[in-house]
Structure 1
Amino acid sequence: MPRRRPKKLDQLLGSQRLQQFADFTEQHQRWQQLLRDCFEKHSLQQLLPQCEVIAVGASALILQVSSAPIAQRLKTDQAGIITYFQTHATPAVTSLEIRVRPGRHVKSTETPPAPVKVEVKESDTVRKLREQAELCEEPLRSQLLALADKYSSP
């Protein structure tokens, strides 16, 4: 089988496929901007990092989200989103399709807050264990007392 010669840069840059890709990329950026504007208007900005427009076509707006609760939240505002895209998008949008793809859109670079440690004095915990032991029957009573003895300060 003969090897094909690599294409020259001029051939690649002038190709129809590259132009189609550039057009789609530009259209996708416009859809994302419309989505940002729509979410801002409907007070949904906090959901934007978890949502992406996949396509607008065949009278449907197709969004991809990272979780079912976000999808449910968008479904509650479905009418407003469709109305916004009907007036601002090039193809007329009459329906909203939401696809859930977990773990794909977490764009936030913020680190989650550290868990808050609650300081509990051992004596309080031991006292509560002993109080609960008094209210219980065996074998739970002896197990709670053994636990209280284990954590009582010497």
Structure 2
Amino acid sequence: MARKRPRDIQQLFGGQRLQRFTDFTEQYQRWQQQLQQCFDALQLSPLLAHCKVVSVRAHTLVLEASSAALANRIKLQQSRIITHFQSESTGHISRLEVQVRPQMRTPLAQSMAKPTQAVQKTGNNDDETVAKLRQQAELCEEPLRSQLLALAEKYEKN
């Protein structure tokens, strides 16, 4: 079996794949700019960090949000967002689709470090913890009151 010769750099940069990718990235940047302008106009700027345009296809603007609550807020402004994108000559947009994709949480190492710090802090403040438990017990009704008092006694013994 014969080996294929390596491609010349000019062949790689002159290919249709690279041109399609370049065209798409330019279009994607325009969509993001339009979304930013739209959110600024609708006074939704704080949501922009948690939302982005995925695509515009078949007369549908597809947005991605990091939570269902944000997606709901965006859907409430659906007609205004569609109007903004139509006026900016993106093409004929008649629908808005919002997909929920939660962002990644903090790394495991950081999340594991926080509880150990909290345990160390509570170990130094046992008297304060007992006092808070007793104060809360006074404000509660049974059976929670007795459970809080029992927990306070347990802290006192340690």
Structure 1 position 149 matched with structure 2 position 153: yes
Q: d(CA) in 2 for partners of 1:38 and 1:25?
A: 20
Residue identity matched to 2:101: R
Structure 1 position 29 matched with structure 2 position 29: yes
Shift of 1:124: 5.8
Which is richer in helix?
2
**2:5 partner SS:** coil
Shift of 1:151: 4.1
- Aligned residue in 2 for 1:126: 134
% identity of equivalent residues: 45
Structure number with greater CO (CA < 8 Å, separation at least 6) is 1
Residues 81 and 150 of structure 1, relative CA distance in 2, 3 Å threshold: same
Q: d(CA) in 2 for partners of 1:50 and 1:124?
A: 38
Contact 1:82/1:95 (CA < 8 Å) preserved in 2? yes
- 1:68-113 superposed Cα distances (whole Å, 9 cap, x missing partner): 1111111111111011111113211111011111116x9xxxxxxx
Shift of 1:54: 1.0
TM-score using structure 2 length: 0.71
Gaps of 5+ in 1: 107-113
Q: d(CA) in 2 for partners of 1:82 and 1:91?
A: 10
- Structure possessing the higher radius of gyration over alpha carbons: 1
Gaps of 5+ in 2: 107-113, 115-120
- Aligned residue in 1 for 2:62: 62
Q: Paired residues, what number?
A: 137
Q: How does 1:22-101 map to 2 (within 5 A)?
A: 22-101=22-101
Runs of at least 4 residues off by over 2 Å: 119-129, 143-153
Residue identity matched to 2:103: G
Superposed CA RMSD: 3.2
Residues 122 and 82 of structure 1, relative CA distance in 2, 3 Å threshold: same
Shift of 1:13: 0.8
Residues 148 and 12 of structure 1, relative CA distance in 2, 3 Å threshold: closer
Shift of 1:144: 5.7
- 1:16-67 superposed Cα distances (whole Å, 9 cap, x missing partner): 1101110110010000000000000011111111111111122110111111
- Aligned residue in 1 for 2:111: none
- Aligned residue in 2 for 1:109: none
